[in-house]
Structures are given as structure tokens and as C-alpha cells.
């Protein structure tokens, strides 16, 4: 099987063709500054490749619904597009690349592989924000984590390099590139990471600020009057190394720091301070660390950054071999002989991870199997908020959506509601249920069976048995059937 891997990032778009032995038979890199790439050039590049059996696409955000590779169809694309506001620098690029790469390959299957999927195993303590339960349930507010394809590959490759099963190791993986994140990988599973609800959280990056005090954002909005769009653009494109030193290139920051540029020196110190603290936090999340891994453009090619990061981790027993650290070959160990913890450099090979996941991608699902799947579980909107399939809100946000219920259908027979339709006539409210990501929700001052807090959906018509309405008091809990 020949797999075309399409890896659309914020700074480049990489095409790799891998054969059945995972050997790269073709490699093409296209520029994608700030996620913008030449669609025609991508189409021409794909058209020039022969014998492609399947295409694997890196997609940054899969929400809570997509926790593994999935065969791409129109419905999947629509759901992924709904997640673009959570990863505005990456998700639209992935979807545009998917569209452009599909045109020259009619009839060739495509599989989406998600950066968030590896972090679906985060325990509640690591995934949960300390926000009101109603907000978390209604809007799907949680820490998703990103760069999962890179963290998954780097952790398994590191385990192979130290000749131990990944299930026996506690590994901290450092993906340092234009985007940067850390992951705590315990027994092959992600148990903590630095990115959160969006890729903005965590480390200082090339153009992204990393973690900020929310009060700072509120202050800029309320007291300076900074529009939300300007805040978003600044945090995404004009912050990080670029905001501190005037350049997003770590090589220029290092050179400026060495030359005595105070802005470059401050940028490097802020970057390394956040990096060291993050590595220690990841180790603490696992109760220790058995290996430290650097990957990504900066992680692989900057011995200075690795040296500065590790120099503050002696209390964890980490020591570098300076000569090994300076050598340039990929996939090597760089720790000193007396280091208590192996330190490794691993070449980022998201293409191998995507190819492996593409092979596992789901086959086309028959209409019958799709119908059975919908009966077994609630339909979900693009953000992963569970919505009962009988009352799927066309607007997509559960009790605050704008869609209503199917006209003239019994709940037992209704499938997907159309936007603007009325509640089913003559049916009883007892069946009118929604579920939300397997969580029991609170619904203040909302009819228990008809979560229509602000939307224009109609109340059930006269004739429903009062005993079945069960209107709750404010804050009543929805129980399971």
C-alpha cells in the first residue's frame, strides 16, 4: 500500500509518500507562511504522484468525538470545520489541504489523523479546568492537548532506543518547533500536556504567547478597548519569540543573545524558563521521569536550547554529554555516562505515525451500520457536545442552539431534525431527551425534556400529559433513562 501523507502545519506543508515498508519514496515541502499555501501548487504536486492507494491527513483538532483515525466523508469534514475556531491557525489549513489534495485523486480514500487523539487519555485531573460545571458541560470546555502525533511517535521511538517496553516507562517528550508543547507519557499513554483548550496554552512559541493570565486579557478588553479579533491575532501571530525579540526564528534569537541584544536575551530566558518549568511539571505528573526526549525543529537542531533546558534539571538527575549534544545526527542519546535519566534526540516523524494510523483507518460504513450506530449513541455536534439524535439542533449548541424539532414525526421515528421545524405533534415529552458527552447536566429553569433555554424551539403542543412534563426547578439534575 502506498500512502500519501499530507501534513499541513502553520509554517510548512509536507507531502510524503510511504511504501508498505514505511520507506519514503517521494518528499515535497511547500511553503505555508501563517498557514497560507498555494492550492494550485499543492494540486499539481499531488497530481504528479503515481500509485497512491490512500491519503492520510494530519488534522489538528478532533474534539471529543474523534479520538482515533477516521475515514473522511462530507459529514466528517463538516464536523471538523466546526472546530476551526478552536485551532484557527491550523484547522482551516488542514481542511483546505484536504480539499486541494483530493481533487487530483478522485476515488482515492482519505483518512484523518488527529493531533488531539493521543491526549484523549488525559485523566480528569489533567483535562479539567476549574470552571463552573454547567459551562464545562454545555460548551465542552476542557484541555484537549495537541502535537499528539509527534508525542506518540517520539515516546515509542525513545522506548525502542533505550531497549525497554514503552509500557514500563515515564517519558517527557518535548516537541519544540514553531509550535511547542510537552507531554507526560506514562506507560505509553498521555497523562498530561502543556497545551489545553486551544494550541495557545503552555510554552512560549515562535509567534504564540503561551499561557497568559485571563485577567490580563479581560483588562485589555475592558480598559484598553482592544477588540477580540485584535487580541486573537496578536496572541496567535505577534507574540512569543516574535513579540519579545522581533523575530520568530530561534536561530536569530540565539545569535542576537550571543551578540548582546537585550531583547533577544530576554526572549531566550523567558522561553527557557517556561520550558524548564514545564519539563519538571510533566515529571511531577508521573511521579518521576525515566527518559527525556527532544523532537521538532528546535528540539532536534538547537544544542543550545537543549543545554539551557537541561542545565536547570540537575535536581532530577539529568546530565548532558556536551560533545554528544553538539553532534548533528538524528535519533541519538545525549546524556552523560553518570546521568540518572537518558536524554534523547528523536527526529520528528509524524509521517510514520500518520501512515500507521491511516492503515488502521475505519473502512467505509454501510448505511445500515450508520443507522445502528446513531441508535446506540447520541449525535454530536462539531465540538463534541452530545445531542440526542431525535432532536439534533441544527445550530449546534444544545440548549442555546437555534434549531427546533422535526415537524409531524413521532420521536420514535424521527432521525435528524431540520432547522426551524416544530416539535413533533402528538408525542409525549418523556422521550424527548438529550445527553451530553455521557455527562449528567444541570439545566437551570429549562424544561427537563426540552432544553430550549434561549432558542426559538416551541413548547410541546397542548394535550401532553402533565405528569410527563416534569418541569424542573432551577438547577434540577437530568437523570439517565
The predicted pLDDT at position 10 comes to 64
The predicted pLDDT at position 12 comes to 79
The reply to whether 350 and 292 lie within a common domain is yes
Domain assignment of residue 445, yes or no:
yes
The reply to whether 260 and 181 lie within a common domain is yes
Among positive and negative, which fits the CA dihedral 225, 231, 237, 243?
positive
Of residues 365, 351, 355, 356, the one with CA closest to residue 72: 365
**Long-range pairs for 34-38 at CB < 8 Å and ≥24 separation?**
34/10, 34/89, 34/237, 35/8, 35/9, 35/10, 35/89, 35/90, 35/92, 35/93, 36/93, 37/8, 37/13, 37/93, 37/96, 37/97
- The cell for 44 is 499539481
The reply to whether 308 and 170 lie within a common domain is yes
What is the count of structural domains for the chain? Answer: 2
- 115 belongs to the catalytic site: yes
The reply to whether 445 and 305 lie within a common domain is no
State which of 364, 396, 417 marks the end of a domain: 364
Of residues 453, 445, 454, the one with CA closest to residue 474: 445
Domain assignment of residue 467, yes or no:
yes
Find the Cα–Cα–Cα–Cα dihedral 80, 399, 135, 282, rounded to 10°: -30
User: At 280, which CATH number?
Assistant: 3.30.420.40
The reply to whether 358 and 381 lie within a common domain is no
Query: Based on C-alpha coordinates, what's the Rg of the chain?
Result: 25
Domain assignment of residue 51, yes or no:
no
Cβ–Cβ contacts within 10 Å for residue 224, how many? 9
Q: What is the DSSP letter of 361?
A: P
Domain assignment of residue 70, yes or no:
no
State which of 364, 383, 411 marks the end of a domain: 364
Neighbouring residues of 250: CB distance < 8 A, sequence distance ≥ 6:
206, 241, 298, 302, 305
State which of 348, 364, 380 marks the end of a domain: 364
Domain assignment of residue 458, yes or no:
yes
Helix (H, G, I), strand (E, B) or coil at 56: strand
Of residues 36, 16, 73, 123, the one with CA closest to residue 351: 16
Number of C-alpha atoms within 13 angstroms, CB side, residue 480?
6
CA distance 129 to 210: 16
Among positive and negative, which fits the CA dihedral 31, 32, 34, 36?
positive
Domain assignment of residue 125, yes or no:
no
Q: How far is CA 34 from the centre of its chain?
A: 18
Active-site residue (options: 115, 381, 399, 437): 115
The predicted pLDDT at position 404 comes to 31
The reply to whether 288 and 430 lie within a common domain is no
DSSP string, 420-477: TPPPPTT--GGG----BTTBPPB-TTS-TT---SSS-PPPPPTT--HHHH-PPPTTPB
Place of cell 484536504: 98
The reply to whether 438 and 297 lie within a common domain is no
The reply to whether 406 and 261 lie within a common domain is no
Q: Structural domain of residue 463, as residue ranges?
A: 372-481
Place of cell 512569543: 240
Q: Quick one: 6 exposed, middle or buried, by C-beta within 10 A (0-12, 13-18, 19+)?
A: buried
- Strand 180-186, strand 343-345: pairing: unpaired
pLDDT tens by residue, the chain, 481 residues: 899 999 987 677 899 999 999 999 999 999 887 668 889 999 999 999 999 999 999 999 999 889 999 999 999 999 999 888 777 777 888 899 999 999 999 999 999 999 999 999 999 999 999 999 999 999 989 999 999 999 999 999 999 999 999 999 999 999 999 999 999 999 999 999 999 999 999 999 999 999 999 999 999 999 999 999 999 999 999 999 999 999 999 999 999 999 999 999 999 999 999 999 999 999 999 999 999 999 999 999 999 999 999 999 999 999 999 999 999 888 999 999 999 999 999 999 999 999 999 999 845 433 334 334 444 433 333 333 333 323 332 333 233 233 333 333 332 333 333 333 333 333 333 233 333 333 333 333 233 233 333 333 334 444 333 333 333 333 333 333 3
The reply to whether 351 and 379 lie within a common domain is no
The predicted pLDDT at position 8 comes to 87
Strand partners, 442: 477
Domain assignment of residue 108, yes or no:
no
Domain assignment of residue 268, yes or no:
yes
The predicted pLDDT at position 363 comes to 55
The reply to whether 339 and 417 lie within a common domain is no
The predicted pLDDT at position 434 comes to 32
The reply to whether 172 and 306 lie within a common domain is yes
Apex 348 CA angle, 343 and 353, nearest 5: 115
The reply to whether 342 and 217 lie within a common domain is yes
Please answer whether residues 410 and 423 qualify as being in contact, where contact means their C-beta atoms are separated by less than 8 angstroms. no
Amino acid at each position: 500500500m502506498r500512502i500519501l501523507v499530507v501534513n499541513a502545519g502553520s509554517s510548512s506543508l509536507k507531502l510524503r509518500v510511504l511504501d508498505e515498508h514505511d520507506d519514503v519514496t517521494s518528499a515535497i515541502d511547500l511553503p505555508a507562511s501563517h498557514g497560507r499555501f498555494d492550492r494550485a501548487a499543492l494540486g499539481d504536486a499531488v497530481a504528479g504522484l503515481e500509485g497512491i492507494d490512500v491519503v492520510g491527513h494530519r488534522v489538528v483538532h478532533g474534539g471529543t468525538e474523534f479520538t482515533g483515525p477516521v475515514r473522511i466523508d462530507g459529514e466528517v469534514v463538516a464536523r471538523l470545520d466546526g472546530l476551526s475556531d478552536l485551532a484557527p491557525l491550523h484547522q482551516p489549513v488542514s481542511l483546505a489541504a484536504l480539499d486541494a489534495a483530493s481533487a487530483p485523486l478522485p476515488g482515492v480514500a482519505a483518512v484523518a489523523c488527529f493531533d488531539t487523539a493521543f491526549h484523549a487519555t488525559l485523566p480528569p485531573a489533567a483535562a479539567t479546568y476549574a470552571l463552573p460545571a454547567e459551562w464545562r458541560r454545555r460548551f465542552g470546555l476542557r484541555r484537549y492537548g495537541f502535537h499528539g502525533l509527534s508525542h506518540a511517535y517520539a515516546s515509542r521511538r525513545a522506548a525502542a532506543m533505550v531497549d525497554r517496553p514503552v509500557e514500563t516507562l515515564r517519558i517527557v517528550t518535548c516537541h519544540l518547533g514553531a509550535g511547542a508543547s510537552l507531554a507526560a507519557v506514562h506507560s505509553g499513554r498521555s497523562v498530561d500536556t502543556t497545551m489545553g483548550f486551544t494550541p495557545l496554552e503552555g510554552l512560549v512559541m515562535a509567534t504564540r504567547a503561551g499561557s497568559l493570565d485571563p485577567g490580563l486579557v479581560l483588562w485589555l478588553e475592558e480598559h484598553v478597548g482592544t477588540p477580540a479579533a485584535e487580541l486573537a491575532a496578536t496572541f496567535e501571530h505577534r507574540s512569543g519569540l516574535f513579540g519579545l525579540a522581533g523575530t520568530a526564528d530561534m536561530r536569530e534569537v540565539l545569535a542576537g543573545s550571543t551578540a548582546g541584544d537585550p531583547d533577544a536575551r530576554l526572549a531566550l530566558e523567558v522561553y527557557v524558563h517556561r520550558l524548564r518549568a514545564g519539563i519538571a511539571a510533566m515529571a511531577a505528573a508521573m511521579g518521576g521521569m525515566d527518559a527525556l526526549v527532544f523532537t521538532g525543529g528546535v528540539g532536534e537542531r538547537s544544542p543550545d536550547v537543549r543545554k539551557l533546558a537541561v542545565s536547570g534539571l540537575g535536581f532530577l538527575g539529568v546530565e548532558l554529554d556536551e560533545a554528544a549534544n553538539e553532534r548533528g545526527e538524528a535519533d541519538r542519546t545525549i546524556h552523560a555516562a553518570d546521568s540518572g535519566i537518558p536524554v534523547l534526540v528523536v527526529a520528528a516523524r509524524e509521517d510514520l505515525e500518520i501512515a500507521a494510523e491511516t492503515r488502521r483507518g475505519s473502512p467505509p460504513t454501510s448505511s445500515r451500520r450508520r443507522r445502528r450506530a446513531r441508535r446506540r449513541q447520541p449525535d454530536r455536534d462539531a465540538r463534541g457536545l452530545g445531542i440526542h439524535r431525535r432532536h439534533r439542533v441544527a445550530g449546534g449548541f444544545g440548549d442555546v442552539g437555534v434549531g427546533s424539532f422535526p415537524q409531524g414525526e413521532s420521536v420514535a421515528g424521527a432521525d435528524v431534525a431540520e432547522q426551524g421545524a416544530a416539535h413533533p405533534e402528538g408525542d409525549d415529552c418523556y422521550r424527548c431527551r438529550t445527553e451530553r458527552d455521557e455527562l449528567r447536566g444541570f439545566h437551570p429553569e429549562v424544561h427537563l425534556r426540552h432544553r430550549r433555554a434561549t432558542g426559538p424551539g416551541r413548547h410541546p403542543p397542548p394535550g401532553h400529559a402533565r405528569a410527563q412534563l416534569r418541569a424542573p426547578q432551577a438547577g434540577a439534575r437530568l437523570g439517565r433513562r
